[in-house]
A and B are shown apart, each in its own frame.
Chain A
Amino acid sequence: MSAMPLPEAPVTDRTPSITTVVVQPTPFCNIACRYCYLPDRDSTARMSLDTVRATFEAVFASGWSLPDLTVIWHAGEPLAVPAAWYQEAFELIDALRPQGIRVRHAFQTNGTLITPDWCALFRRWDVGVGVSIDGPREIHDANRVNRKGRGTFDKTLAGIACLQAEDVPFHVISVLSAPSLADPEGMLAFYVDNGIADICFNVEESEGDHVSSLLAERSAKDLFSDFLIRFWHRSRHDESVRFLREIDRMLERIMDPTNASVENAQVNPFGMVNVDCKGNVSSFSPELLGMKHAGYDNFIVGNVHHDSLEDMLRSSSMRAMQRDISAGVKACKAECAYFSVCGGGSPINKLTENGSFSTTHTRFCDLIEKVPTDIILDALSDLERTIEHDVPLRSAV
């Protein structure tokens, strides 16, 4: 697939607003989840501190960083790099940080390597921590295994216990597969039993070599909707969950008292800046780092050791992606009822599901945007009837 001829001028002259820098300190992962598609997870390459310096010199020199900048360390398994390396990296970034910009670091980890030393680093720098755990042992160990094929449940749960013992706040992300979708009550009981109160769900997707049997089914949307409704009702009834991302983040977007446009950083050039361990840069979606596409120069817009962000913004790759992603957003705006709470979808999903950035609807849209929105609007209608008929509200089960 090749890109169409580039326009003479940039698609938009809007100044970028960097909300997030996603850094891949290593592609290596110490486990081998069955549904993982990452091609380089055996590579033990590590980002140098020179690359960290070059990355943040470029970001701060651009003047495009928002006052609150999130730096997400992700890859691979970010904790496969020693805590001492992050201490140096964080100090380096802090020394480069201009006045008026606050930086918050975040990790997404499989949890198996968490120790009190890591917790000390998390506390010292107020790091946001997300742990990937899929639910009870039999569900988690069905996919999240080490290189010998053995389950990682015990080590992940030990990591969570360490965070709790060391008083480090964290959330979890659980990938939902067919068994977990069928048992929301069992999933909730697992979180409650283990003191987990902040929860995010992903639905298993097909990606790379991994083909999800779940999303091949036309009923995935209905399965997820049923799961989410039951989980939401039960968890709100017994106050067992503090934050349920799929409902609560959508509710925040629907009930935005400022009526502001949804900022979708995934569709804006350098809304997020993604950097691999060699200093190669992409934007839009971190998944694009490592993917191949001749028409977009493999999605790489430059390298922090050679190019400024201004140079990268003018690169042929960035302009081609920007043109096609903008076309997709424009089409979404014209045809999709959910645009006001979405802002144009996820380019990576458009590309992987539909073959083009310039398309619109994806199954990912159904699960992430439409299902939660429909649930909330239905609930609002129910509340309207409750008030109108002056019937009492009861607890949510």
Chain B
Amino acid sequence: MHSRNRTNRALALLLPAGLIGASTILASAHATAVRPATAATGDAAVERDVANRLAYIRTTLATDLTETRPAGTKASKLILAWMNFGGFGWRNGGWRNGGWRNWGNGWHNWGNGWHNWGNGGWHNFWHNW
């Protein structure tokens, strides 16, 4: 079970970073985290948690998270420093223009769009796109 307040604070930190900035922050957190031991849960419970998490994230991001942004924590200070000095993201702040939904100048089919072109043909590819 995830605390909604905790999720709000994390999302408030990620959203202004843009796509590549968020990807970098999450990769850092994921690579360095010490995860607590958890009791084994069934597949159904895991799937319910995924569905609830996704629904909550998307609903929350449609609201204003400005007031929720965690200022003064070590993580937020380091992220702010990175954002100001281009320490992460794509070569000196390219992530700033990465934005959400602005990747590739709005070309909606980035990567040839389809996850469906497989091993170099149409399929077996799929994702050949």
Contact = CB atoms under 8 A, between A and B. Distances in A.
Contact of A338 (B23, B50, B111): B50
Interface stretch (A79-87, A250-258, A313-321): A250-258
Helix, strand, loop or mixed for chain A's interface? mixed
Given A233-B30, A340-B58, A394-B28, A349 B126 contact: yes
Nearest to A377: B53
A200 interface: yes
Interface string A61-85: 0000000101010100000000000
A202 B123 contact: no
Interface string B90-129: 1100100000110110111111111111111111111111
A383 B129 contact: no
Contact of A202 (B9, B75, B118): B118
Given A19-B108, A70-B107, A286-B117, A396 B125 contact: no
A364 B126 contact: yes
Contact of B124 (A210, A381, A391): A210
B116 A207 contact: no
A207 B128 CA distance: 13
A239 B2 contact: no
A273 interface: no
Contacts of A397: 31
A390 B54 contact: no
B109 A70 contact: yes
A357 interface: no
B119 A210 contact: yes
A248 interface: yes
Interface string A230-254: 0011001101001111011101101
Interface of B: 2-3, 6-7, 9-11, 13-15, 19-20, 22-33, 35-36, 47-48, 50-51, 53-55, 57-59, 61-62, 70, 73-76, 78-79, 88-91, 94, 100-101, 103-104, 106-129
* Top 10 A-B residue pairs of the complex, sorted by shortest distance between their CB atoms: A382-B33, A379-B30, A207-B124, A35-B119, A236-B27, A337-B51, A287-B122, A396-B27, A383-B29, A379-B26
Given A205-B125, A387-B9, 5 more contacts: A20-B109, A36-B121, A41-B121, A132-B120, A236-B24
